[in-house]
Structure 1
Amino acid sequence: MSLTKNQPRESPTTRRKAPKAHQFTAVGLLLAMLVSLLAHEHVRRVEARIAGWAIETFMDVGTYMEPYGTYLTIGAGTQHIFTLDVTFACSVVLLTAPLLLVAALLLFSGRGSLSLTIPAALVGVAILVAINTLRIMLIAALTRENNLDGFALAHTVYGSLLVLIGLAFVQVLFVKTVIKKRR
């Protein structure tokens, strides 16, 4: 038999303070989120260029984009030419902001592992960019096929469904990957 001091056990609701590196990284993620929201036009421009490249590569349809705009002209040189504007409401910025916010909150609370959070956030952002690019490609394909009816269906129904499912998938996968298991 041995004698031990009665030490108070840590209750499941006891919070540990996150290390300084976690807090610093959380602030960095919040700043990245704010910068992307405030400088959304630059992000939208890059996003429109990525979508233009994807449409040319995978749909074999010519595209054109002004050097400093967010308007993507699709079908240049054909009878089915139209222009899409990648607006703030349709941008990947609104998809990545919640992911960056969750990442920052998990790090700041001490529930997220730094070595997992940053790579998982980068992968999550890349997946969300790919999903939104697929959405723009879907809009382009259905608009070319069915004009404004195709645009409305692709933009409002199929595109929104694709983005919502993708966002939910990425968020759940992200949280399951990052959260530390309680022992």
Structure 2
Amino acid sequence: MHERFWSSHLNRVAMSGKLIGVREDGEWRGFRAFFEPGKSRLPYVSDFRLDDNDDWDRFLELSGEEQYMARIKEWGEKTNRTNEELGLTPSEYYTTSIIAVDPAHQRKGIGSVLDDFTRKIAREAGRPLHVRIHEYILPFYLAQGYRLIATPTYTLVGSAPFKVHFLMYDEYGQKKDA
């Protein structure tokens, strides 16, 4: 169920952006969602379905569709408020999220390849690249040259408090700030 749920989730997220993948030996090994300036991670809608994939229905049944959509709405409101507080304007930068790598192929550089590819697109366009991440992956992004902008702590309905790191890859901004 886990793999099929994430494939459904990635497809839903990628509806407003691009899904970039890495293949090895004819098999997909990793993916990343990528959004052009002004696009967002939306639509997060509960009625999106993939053919022959009832895992999304099962997820909604277990989590409760109304509760899930309430959390998604709350997440959007909180992160949008943080964007406003930080002066981040989505139309000015590329956005990326989710690097999903086949567990059997993790720690082999696939995540770095996906990140390099998206940073190259942003760099060639002369635009920054924004990502929001959780604590465990922060060292990876800092090693790639991202700047930590803020680390707010959020609580969603029914969740324990958790930190979200707002990062920006913007070599032009780094030169100005240096």
TM-score between the two structures when normalised by the length of structure 1 = 0.27
Greater Rg by CA: 1
Structure (1 or 2) with the greater helix fraction? 1
More strand by share: 2
- Using the size of structure 2 for normalisation, the TM-score is 0.28
